[in-house]
Amino acid sequence: MDRFCLICRFLCVLFLISRGGVAQVSWTADSLVAVGQFDLASVYYEKALFDQSQKIDSLNTDGYRLMANELLYKKIRCQKYLKRFEDAWQTAQRFNLNEPNDTLHYKLRYEAALTGYLSQHYGEAHGQILQTRFYIRDSTLFSGLDVLEILTLNELDRWAESKELFKKYAARNQLNIDTEELYRFLKKKPKSPEKAQLLSFIMPGVGQMYAGFPKEGLVSVGLQTLALGFGVYHVWHRYYLIGFFTGAGMFQAFYFGGARRAELMAEETNQKRKAKNNQRIRMTLIESENKKGK
């Protein structure tokens, strides 16, 4: 019995020594994180992953997967601290998602979706969210996913879906928020760049006014009137060449330039509105999550 015990303890020590490299590097990385050296810590986590991959034969598949995922998770945390979101997204792609434990599986998929959102891969992030909902059976874990999905849908301009999800989120969290009021902007049609351009062709300056820039519209009208007036005045006084080249030349430049500018202004207005609405919803969500946290 003693002999058996001795053999067991001896093997245990050997095992710890063989694993020591990976663990030691990982501990070093953890201590670097603790002192805020995320850049170097991220490399140490990669080193631990590398060391582990060199000893793949000595580990069982589950142990290897669990440890690799844990190291990748920590590496992503460092990259997020450094605001290297694209790198974090690339690291998240390396997760082994064959995870039977729902809690762990959810943690990995959520991280992948979050890094996708932060690195502006909105389509892929939303795909990851849908996969999370599909593959993970324990739906009680999904509470944090709603926020991320709402934000992702907003970025994808899928406002109607975002609204529906927000309603559910508000009901689940018993929020005293008027969703209709928050999404009131959906009733407003976005400005059409083509329409703005057409309006400016028909009546100079109107396109800019339609796009939401009335002052610029008035300036455009003024400049075109001046150019046209200059041309007409000179033709009237028989300065045909000056009237034609200078007057008509300036008029056509302001006329076509103004119409093109109106088109760009409509696009700009739409972008601004989208950013403003998105920010409003984002702030509401942050406030609600903060309250939950308290």
Query: With respect to another protein, which residue has the nearer C-beta, 246 or 288?
Result: 246
Q: State in angstroms the smallest separation of the CB of 186 from another protein.
A: 43
Cα 123 from Cα 108, distance rounded (Å): 18
**Residues contacting residue 262 through CB under 8 Å, at least 6 positions apart:** 196, 197, 199, 200, 207, 208, 210, 211
- Tokens describing residue 89: 């997204």
Among candidate residues 211, 168, 212, 159, the one with its CA nearest the CA of residue 187 = 159
Residue 59 Cβ, how far from another protein at the closest point, in Å? 18
Site string for another protein, 149-178 (x = CB under 8 A): ------------------------------
Site string for another protein, 38-67 (x = CB under 8 A): -xx-xx--xx--xx--x-------------
Distances (CA, A) of 13 to 18, 19, 26, 83, 293: 9, 10, 19, 40, 44
Nearer to another protein, 18 or 103 (CB): 18
Asked if residues 231 and 288 have their Cβ atoms less than 8 Å apart, the reply is no
Nearer to another protein, 22 or 59 (CB): 22
If the CB atoms of residues 49 and 125 are measured against another protein, the closer one turns out to be: 49
| Residue 245 interacting with another protein (CB under 8 A) | yes
Q: Is 242 in the site for another protein (CB under 8 A)?
A: yes
Give the Cα separation of 294 and 288 in Å (integer): 10
Please give the structure tokens belonging to residue 228. Answer: 């046209």
**Least distance between another protein and beta carbon 264 (Å):** 25
Q: Between residues 135 and 245, which has the closer beta carbon with respect to another protein?
A: 245
Q: Using CB under 8 A, which residues numbered 248 to 287 contact another protein? A: 249
Query: Residue 1, interface with another protein (CB under 8 A)?
Result: no
Give, in order, the Cα–Cα distances in Å from 131 to each of 103, 108, 154, 160, 181.
15, 12, 19, 21, 31
Residue span 183-222 as binding mask against another protein, x where in contact by CB under 8 A, dash where not: ----------------------------------------
DSSP 3-state of 246: helix
Binding of another protein by 240 (CB under 8 A): yes
User: Binding-site residue total for another protein (CB under 8 A)?
Assistant: 25
Cβ neighbours of residue 79 closer than 8 Å, sequence gap 6 or more:
38, 42, 85, 87, 88, 91
Q: How many CA atoms lie within 13 A of 289 on its CB side?
A: 12
Which of residues 14 and 286 has its CB atom nearest to another protein in the complex? 14
Cα–Cα distance, 215 to 196 (Å, whole number): 15
CA distances from 235 to 231, 249, 271 (A): 6, 13, 44
The type of residue at 165 is L
Q: Does 238 bind another protein (CB under 8 A)?
A: yes
Nearer to another protein, 45 or 159 (CB): 45
> Which residues 6-45 are close enough to bind another protein by CB under 8 A?
6, 9-10, 13-14, 17, 21, 39-40, 42-43
* 2 lies in the site for another protein, by CB under 8 A: yes
- What are the residues binding another protein (CB under 8 A)? 2, 6, 9-10, 13-14, 17, 21, 39-40, 42-43, 46-47, 50-51, 54, 238-242, 245-246, 249
